[in-house]
Amino acid sequence: MPARKHLLAIAAVAGLALPSAAAHAQEAVTLVLNWTPTADHAAYYYALQQGWYEKAGLSLSIEVGRGSAVSAQQVGVGAAQFGVSDLATAMVARGKGAEVTAVMSVYANTPQGFYWLKSSGINGPKDFPEHRIGNPPGDASRVMWPAFAQAAGIEPDSVSFVNVAPPAKMPSLKSGAVEIISDFYNEHDLKLREFGDNLGYVGWAELGLNPYGNSIIVNSDFLQENEKAVAAFVQVSQRAFAACVEDVEPCLAALTAGASGLDLQTQRNQWERIKSLMTDDFTTKEALGWIDRQRLQDDYKLVSTYIGFDKPFEIDTMFTTRFLDKKVKMDASKVKK
C-alpha cells in the first residue's frame, strides 16, 4: 500500500456506542498527519485495519503530512476534516484565522528537543547563537522557536535555520552541514546509536517549556455540522491508542503494513518513549487524550507572549473534551520508568 495515501474499507468494532455503518451512510473523512507515518500514528492504522472506523460510520483516508503548521493550515481551510498537529503550532494557525479545534491530545508532554554534537563545541542552548539549526520549514520547533529562545536566554534571531527534510536531519548533523537539529524525543534511540557519547541534547521541558504536543484537531465548521462523526473519530482513535498501550505489536504490524520503509525495532523503541509522552495526571485520571483547560491557557499565554496572535481568541473556542470516553484512561503501569 503506498505511503502517500491510505484508503481501507473496513468492518467491526465492539463496545463503541456510536452510529453503525448499517444504519447510516459512510461519512468520508480525511486525517492528515503531521509527518510521515511512525509509531505515534500506529493507532490510526490499527483501527483502520480492524475495521473500527467503518463500523462507526466513517470511511477514513490517511494522508502523509509535511509539518504541524501545514496540517493545521489544511484542516483550517477544510482540505482535511481531521489532522495531527502540535497543539501550540495549531494555536499559531488559529491566531492567523485557521478554523481548527483540538479534540484529543496525543502527547500530554512536549516531545520537542534539540540535538548537537559535543565535538562541535556546543555545550547547551547558550552556545546556539551563530550556529545553524536544521529542520523543515513547517516544523513545530521552528514555529515555536521564539519561545524556546526566550526561555534559553538567547536572541531569537541569533541562529540560522536551514531547510532539512526529516530523513536528512541526522546525516546533516553528521556531515557538519548544520550544527544543531530539532527532533522529537521519540527518536532519541536512533541518535544515541549513531553518535553515542558525542551526542548533546536538551528537551524543551528542561527549560520549563512543556506545551501540549501532537494532538488531534478538527475543522471547526465540520465539527459544528457533524458532531456524531467527530465523536466517532475521537472515540475510535482514543480506544485504538489504549489498545496499543496494552499491546503495541498488532499496532506496529498494521503501521508497517500500511507504510513502507519502517524498521520494526526502531518503531518499538519509539513507542516506549511515546508512552511516557502520553502520560500525565490528566490522561491517567480523567481520560486518555484529555486536554486540561488551565494548561492550555498557559500554552496560549506562551504563544501570545513570544509569537503573538494576528487574531486573538478565547481559549474555550480552541478545544473540547466532550467527545472523549472517560472510561478509557492512560495506563501508567505500562510506561517504563
Render pLDDT for 162-212 as a digit per residue (tens, 0 to 9).
999 988 999 999 999 999 999 989 889 899 999 999 999 999 999 989 999
Q: Is residue 97 domain-shared with residue 227, that is, in the same domain?
A: yes
pTM of the model: 0.85
- Select from 207, 225, 258 the last residue of a domain: 207
Share of the chain above pLDDT 70, in %: 93
Sequence-separated (6 or more) residues with CB below 8 Å from residue 263: none
Tell me how far apart the alpha carbons of residues 114 and 111 are, in angstroms, rounded to a whole number. 10
Task: Tell me what pLDDT residue 24 has.
Answer: 54
242: cell is: 489504549
Question: What's the mean per-residue pLDDT of the chain?
Answer: 91
Q: How many domains does the chain have?
A: 2
Report pLDDT digits (tens) over 19-47. 444 445 799 999 999 989 999 999 999 99
Sequence-separated (6 or more) residues with CB below 8 Å from residue 224: none
305: pLDDT confidence band, cut at 50, 70 and 90? Answer: confident
Q: Is residue 13 domain-shared with residue 132, that is, in the same domain?
A: no
Q: Is residue 197 domain-shared with residue 217, that is, in the same domain?
A: no
Q: Is residue 267 domain-shared with residue 231, that is, in the same domain?
A: yes
Task: With a cut of 70, say whether residue 5 has pLDDT above it.
Answer: no
Residue pair 274/39 in contact by the 8 Å Cβ criterion: yes
Q: Is residue 97 domain-shared with residue 172, that is, in the same domain?
A: no
Tell me how far apart the alpha carbons of residues 326 and 279 are, in angstroms, rounded to a whole number. 15
- Select from 187, 207, 227 the last residue of a domain: 207
Residue pair 154/125 in contact by the 8 Å Cβ criterion: yes
Q: Is residue 157 domain-shared with residue 235, that is, in the same domain?
A: no
Task: Tell me what pLDDT residue 144 has.
Answer: 85
Q: Is residue 196 domain-shared with residue 216, that is, in the same domain?
A: no
Q: Is residue 66 domain-shared with residue 142, that is, in the same domain?
A: no
CATH number of the CATH domain containing 72:
3.40.190.10
Sequence-separated (6 or more) residues with CB below 8 Å from residue 333: none
- Which residues span the domain enclosing 244? 5-109+212-334
| Residue 319: DSSP 8-state | B
- Select from 149, 180, 207 the last residue of a domain: 207
Task: Tell me what pLDDT residue 22 has.
Answer: 40
Q: Is residue 86 domain-shared with residue 230, that is, in the same domain?
A: yes
Task: With a cut of 90, say whether residue 96 has pLDDT above it.
Answer: yes
Residue pair 136/69 in contact by the 8 Å Cβ criterion: no
